[in-house]
Structure 1
């Protein structure tokens, strides 16, 4: 059993509550696929991948105990460095390293169904590996100006490399109407940054061609999923919905459709 100790509250993301630090560990309530998260983190440790927490066990309160990773994490308000291009490129390289490390793990079957509205059409996007699916600024730890580790694997699931790259591009290009972006991300050349991300990751030509159609399809699904989770799970999901995330997703849908050609051209240039 993992030892207990003094608990220091940590600022989580938009959904996770009850996140604390105990000594050199992080304690967090298990997510919707706790066994998958444990298996993924154990595989990454065996593979020698340093860019993820180590799974240490379960504490007396039933929480996952993970190794604490020292470094900088971009909370809110965003730090001035959040839009730095070199940092952005390092996130793409870290995601690629994660994909290469997790690919031998395979695509597990018999996983709990994702919490999505019934009848939501499936994406035409066969899974290739277990993606992180939440590469937000809050979930990347930086050291000495470069991305060192990914944290918060609660949304990890079988996806394609392109789908995980689309999530990366969403947060770090970033994609969306300028008024909806954090101030530090406004006024940037989003198509250029998308291309730089694809180059740093080493995205294939085939995946570059389908990145924008996949972004549009995923964004449409996101509106329905966020609404459903707000209604069924409450908590942080309901708070985000009440704060207008659904409207933001709708505006992003319009922006993606209007800019798909320009973005695809930049990715393939």
Structure 2
């Protein structure tokens, strides 16, 4: 893992559980640090966080080491996240634009990252044998791949930092923007959206994110295709992960996330043309 042992301060501090997220349990705050279980993707995540620190990217926690309990020790990132229930500002378009800018800043910072020898992405599960094909676009950056409202920290009304890099993996920029729009537009049947986002103009919000990020014309034209392929693929992935890993993944599957994914696919079939028009209009 190649992460140093964390030296605790002389004065002990209480552990405060940090709630939120769907699958990672046992995350606590201790003073100005966060302690998290070490995941299967830790070697890559640790290398990525070290790169971001060396690049001077302020929008990510710093890796401090491993504590005596075998947990990752990260700097605590101050600010607010859109936990549950979602805050009223989840629909604010200025905050939405700041999410697009943060993703772009992250991509700029990670552009020079090279995976160290012997390290590969590891999501802790095998590949489903019946998995549909992925979008046919090559990886361009080391993606965060999990831009949920729970994983973006806001300060002074703008997106300031990313947390939870557990799903980091090589990705195309359009894949990353699809992931961002999935949660923040949001892409999917309004019946499955947070009540505060059920009446929003989704194509408009996709355009706001695309403009704030500075999406290329080519990626704008590919977004709907990628969304459909990723949604179709995610049903098989989620079912497989739920079976192999259990825990929060199994709970989400039991609660109907598979049906939600199917509704999202049908919604994209009905609304893809409107999203494409919004993204590609002059």
What's 1:210 paired with? 222
In the alignment, is the contact (CA less than 8 A) between 2:79 and 2:155 conserved in 1?
yes
Q: TM-score by structure 1 length?
A: 0.96
The C-alpha deviation readout for 1:105-159, integer Å capped at 9, x for no partner, is: 0366751454331352442221111101000000010001000100000011000
In the alignment, is the contact (CA less than 8 A) between 2:47 and 2:115 conserved in 1?
no
What's 2:120 paired with? 111
Say which SS state the counterpart of residue 263 (structure 2) adopts: helix
Give the number of aligned pairs: 269
The C-alpha deviation readout for 1:152-192, integer Å capped at 9, x for no partner, is: 00011000111001000111111111111000101111101
Moved over 2 A (4+): 106-110, 112-116, 118-122
User: Structure 1: where are the runs of 5+ without partners?
Assistant: none
User: Structure 2: where are the runs of 5+ without partners?
Assistant: none
Say which SS state the counterpart of residue 105 (structure 1) adopts: coil
In the alignment, is the contact (CA less than 8 A) between 2:41 and 2:122 conserved in 1?
no
Say which SS state the counterpart of residue 226 (structure 2) adopts: helix
Q: Give runs of aligned pairs for residues 68-217 of structure 1, distance below 5 A.
A: 68-106=76-114, 111-114=120-123, 115=125, 116-123=127-134, 124-217=136-229
Say which SS state the counterpart of residue 137 (structure 2) adopts: coil
CA–CA separation in structure 2 for the residues paired with 1:65 and 1:113? 20
Match of 1:24 among 11, 32, 50: 32
Q: Give runs of aligned pairs for residues 181-260 of structure 1, distance below 5 A.
A: 181-260=193-272
CA–CA separation in structure 1 for the residues paired with 2:29 and 2:122? 30
In the alignment, is the contact (CA less than 8 A) between 1:129 and 1:158 conserved in 2?
yes
